């Protein structure tokens, strides 16, 4: 049986961007180290230059963009959270990984910086 060790999001700078522009892959990392991509359509951009970006801001924003969206009109935050984790559980089930949504909420979520993003953050964008 496949078991999830944690969630791992890969944040990567968009190629050639001079302003902060980051794509984020939301993945489930299995205990054997294999990663399964769950969401590949997330990311963010700002008008800030790379010199102004901090690793903490990138990490926090990456977590926000792969996490639950704000509730739709007429829905509560609790309903939005429930729907999000049920959706993630369904994506995992499609990969033959059965984990109740209420267990997924408890997993660690790590943000990793990709090879284009690392030097931009280390050098202040230079």
Higher pLDDT residue, 36 or 126? 36
pLDDT digits (tens, 9 = 90+) for 56-72: 999 999 999 999 989 99
pTM of the model: 0.90
CA–CA gap between residue 47 and residue 31 (Å, rounded): 38
User: For tokens 């926090």, what's the residue?
Assistant: 60
Give residue 41's pLDDT. Answer: 96
CA–CA gap between residue 78 and residue 21 (Å, rounded): 30
Domain map (residue ranges) of the chain: 4-70+107-122
Token pair recorded at residue 58: 């990138």
Mean pLDDT over 91-109 rounds to: 96
Mean pLDDT over 4-20 rounds to: 95
Strand partners, 43: 23
Give residue 22's pLDDT. Answer: 98
């Amino acid at each position: 049986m496949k078991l999830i060790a944690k969630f791992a999001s890969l944040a990567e700078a968009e190629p050639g961007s001079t302003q902060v522009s980051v794509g984020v892959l939301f993945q489930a990392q299995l205990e054997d180290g294999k990663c399964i991509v769950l969401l590949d359509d997330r990311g963010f951009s700002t008008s800030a230059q790379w010199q102004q970006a901090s690793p903490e801001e990138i990490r926090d924003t990456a977590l926000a963009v792969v996490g639950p969206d704000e509730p739709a009109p007429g829905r509560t935050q609790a309903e939005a959270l429930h729907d999000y984790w049920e959706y993630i559980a369904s994506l995992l089930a499609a990969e033959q990984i059965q984990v109740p949504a209420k267990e997924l909420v408890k997993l660690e979520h790590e943000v990793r910086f990709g090879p284009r993003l690392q030097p931009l953050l280390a050098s202040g964008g230079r």
